[in-house]
A and B are shown apart, each in its own frame.
Chain A
């Protein structure tokens, strides 16, 4: 059974810092891994999708890496801004399953 863990559960940093969010999963037989952002009371916004054959994906100030063999992914946010404050969720889609398994999320606060 796939399990996804995100550390830390909460993170508070001053504006302008670079930061890394971590995600680990127990079963390396995956199709892909997605990072999402969720603002309070809102739906999920897809940030990056990394297919199992890829090592990283970039979008603007965001960079996500995937090490399938070790069951780890990181989301790197450069030059953080107060608008980046949100909960960040990672989710994996295991082979043979048409569903996403989510971590509990990291609640990120960027202080002006």
Chain B
């Protein structure tokens, strides 16, 4: 069974640009969560999608957005990039559903975003 895949693996952008990251969950998983990892703040929750609906959102500005498609694949978008957005962006998938709270989360390899 294939794991969580994320594309692209590396991105270099300049301030003011926008970027779209993609995540394909494990087959059969319907919940996708996104996390940002930086040396200073550690791992922070961005948002979670289940059945194409945003179910939870972290404390990030509106420049960070996401969506989920009917096949459970998810994208996140960051507009008007700032230097501080440089980070490793990790996607996690889980089964979701009625007992979602108890589900194990599986992470992808991440997308390393560098903003110059």
Check A46 against B105 for contact (C-beta < 8 Å).
Answer: yes
- Size bin of chain B's contact surface: 20 to 34
Interface range on chain A: under 10, 10 to 19, 20 to 34, or 35 or more? 20 to 34
A88 CB-CB contact with B under 8 Å: no
Contact, CB under 8 Å: B104 / A98: no
Say whether A43 contacts B110, CB under 8 Å: yes
- The DSSP consensus for interface residues of chain B is strand
Are A98 and B107 within 8 A (Cβ)? Answer: no
**A23 in the interface (beta carbon within 8 A):** no
B residues 80-116 in Cβ contact with A at 8 Å: 88, 90, 92, 100-102, 104-110, 112
* A residues lining the B interface (CB < 8 Å): 31-32, 34, 36, 41-46, 49, 51, 89, 91, 93, 95, 97-105
Q: Which residues of B are at the interface with A, using a C-beta cutoff of 8 A? A: 4, 6, 31, 33, 35, 42-43, 45, 48, 50, 55-56, 58, 88, 90, 92, 100-102, 104-110, 112
